[in-house]
Every structure is written in C-alpha cells, then in structure tokens.
Amino acid sequence: MEWMEAEDYQDMSEKAGEIVLEEMRARSLPTLGLATGSTPEGLYQYLIMQYQRGKVSYRKTRTFNLDEYVDLPWEHPNSYYHYMKEKFFSHVDVQDKNTYLPDGMAENLEKECMKYESEIAAAGGVVTQVLGLGGNGHIGFNEPGTPFDSRTHVVDLKESTRRANARFFPSLEEVPKQAITMGIETIMESKRILLLVSGRNKREALARLMEGEVSEEFPASVLWRHPNVQVIADREALGK
Ligand code: F6R
C-alpha cells in the first residue's frame, strides 16, 4: 500500500485526478471504477476541468460504478445514476452506453448482480478503481462482516450507513434500506485502487486501516492484500 499525504481536500482531489488522467493516457480503452458520495466530488470537478481545457477526452472511457440504491428510480435526485450524471458524466464527452451502474430497479435483483459482473468481465475488468472510505470501514456498500470473497450482491444497509447518507435525503425514512454493490472480491480484481480519504470524520477509520490488521469486520482492511493500492489522505484525516 502506498500512502500519499495531501494538504487538504482540494490537493487530494488534484492528486487523485492526475493519477486517473495518467492511467487514461496510458490506455486506448480505459476502464474506470467510480464511487459516489462527498469524497470524489472534487476529483470529478478536476476531471471535468481538464476536459474543458482540452487535456483529455473520455470518448473511449468505460466506467463502472460501485453501487446503486435499490428501489430508487434512476431519475430520482438521490440515485447514484443521477449523482454521476450531475457531477461528472453530463459535463464530459463520455458516451452513455459506456457508463455502467447496477440497476436497483431491476425486477430480478440477483440476475442484475450477475449481469453487472458479466459486463465488468466483458470490458476486461476495471483498471483503476476509485474508492471512498466509510466511517465503519465499508467500501462500496460492503458493510462490516461482508465476506472477502463476495461478488456483486444485494445488501441491507446498516443503520449507521443510512444515517451517514441521510444528509442527501429529505429525511432518514427516505434513505433506501437496500443497495446493490460490487462485492469485495469484485473490487479487489481491479488492477489498481485509489482510496481517497478526507476530513476529520474519517480520522478513526483511517487510523484503524493504518494499524494493518486485516479483518472482515473492517472491510477496507482487505486492501492490504492488493498489490497496487494508493491511499491519498489529507492532513485532517491523518490527524495532523
Ligand atoms: C459510494 C460508496 C461508499 C462511499 C463511502 C464514503 O459509491 O460506495 O462506500 O465511498 O460511504 O462516503 P463519503 O465520501 O460520502 O464520505
């Protein structure tokens, strides 16, 4: 695991952006794994800015998002599909047909999970996967206790995660109770992983990750077993 210290959120986002762009330039058909939430917003802004300056095109990029809520239509303002459109996709030249998210409205959710796995496989796998860190160590929506050999699956969201995400909804009751998420093994198959961590409220989780104990009780700890992980953490998250 490679650790990079960033001055602040902005610096973390730029550092991550440069790594993503480097990877994009190195490949004719780049495949990115993307996250939602507060953490990668600055990264998306940076990637948009570089596009607007003519430094990069996403025309041939394929993207796979980590997760999506169950029973929230894609056009709902809080769906991750909507988030991705608003924060990234609609500002760049990525092609709709190349942006993948699990469909939380699918009639058969189990089938949808398998379909998502085969779409990732058909694309040749994710090259660079961007991750945020949950306060309880979750990655994607893989909550503590999720087996390390899990593939894309439906998950019941923990109360703590629903509370953490309630800030995006009018009330806690409206936060969905389930989501589809890439599994831990699915995430671990990406060739490179970028874990972004920012802010005081991630301090404890980051400190626990740094301890280096690998346990299903703290999902992000599995990243110690991946050969190519970069953690970009800002000084606040590092407790400096
Ligand atoms: C988002 C995701 C989650 C978040 C995590 C941190 O697609 O899969 O694992 O990365 O909950 O969220 P933020 O960045 O909002 O603190």
The interface predicted TM-score of the complex, written ipTM, equals: 0.99
* 138 assigned to active site: yes
Q: How far is the CA of 95 from the centre of ligand 1 (A)?
A: 24
Closest CA to 224 of 238, 209, 237, 206: 209
Angle of CA points 216, 126, 183, to nearest 5°: 25
Which pLDDT score, from 0 to 100, does residue 167 have? 87
Side-chain-side CA neighbours of 53 within 13 Å: the count stands at 7
Give the residue among 240, 165, 238, 160 at the shortest CA–CA distance from 206: 238
Please give the average per-residue pLDDT across 59-83, as a whole number. Answer: 96
Answer whether residue 161 shows pLDDT above 90: no
Tell me the domains of the chain and their CATH numbers. 2-233 (3.40.50.1360)
Q: How many CA atoms lie within 13 A of 218 on its CB side?
A: 16
Ligand 1, residue 35: give the atom nearest the CA.
7
- Find the Cα–Cα–Cα–Cα dihedral 240, 231, 161, 191, rounded to 10°: 180
Query: Out of 14, 67, 68, 236, which one is annotated catalytic?
Result: 67
Q: How far is 1 from 112, CA to CA, in rounded Å? A: 32
pTM comes to: 0.96
Catalytic, 226? Answer: no
Q: How far apart are the CA of 136 and the centre of ligand 1, in A?
A: 11
Residue 48 has pLDDT above 90, yes or no: yes
Is 143 assigned a catalytic role?
A: yes
Residues lining ligand 1, judged by CB closer than 6 Å?
35-39, 66-67, 132-134, 138-141
Mean pLDDT value of segment 133-142: 95
DSSP codes, 65-116? ESEEETT--TTSTTSHHHHHHHHTGGGS---GGGEE---TT-S-HHHHHHHH
